[in-house]
Amino acid sequence: MDLETANYIVTYFDHLLTSDERGAIQYQYFLPKGINEYKIEVAQRVMAESAEKVYFNNCKKCGRLTRRPQSKVCRHCGHHWY
């Protein structure tokens, strides 16, 4: 899993994280591998346990992940679908 996808999951589906995971990400404590590696690990756990609750909003033109689940404009190619 790449960091962009992990950030998307951790940011917009934070209700699927445990309170300890949210606290560690918010305050960045006890993270010997660093914040980015921790976010990837947490996102992988979320996908393993609750993949059906995570919605990926990919651009219809370039296929890349949009900024938010509700986005109607791609930040990568500028395509919009109103």
Q: Specify the pLDDT at position 70.
A: 93
Cβ atoms 76, 38 nearer than 8 A: no
Percent with pLDDT over 70 in the chain: 100
Q: Are 1 and 44 in contact (CB under 8 A)?
A: yes
pLDDT of res. 82: 83
Does the pLDDT at position 29 exceed 80? Answer: no
Report the pLDDT value the prediction gives residue 32, as an integer from 0 to 100: 87
pLDDT at 55: 93
Q: Which of 37, 43, 50, 60 is nearest to 5 (CA)?
A: 43
Reported confidence tier of residue 28, pLDDT bands at 50, 70, 90? confident
Mean pLDDT of 44-66: 95
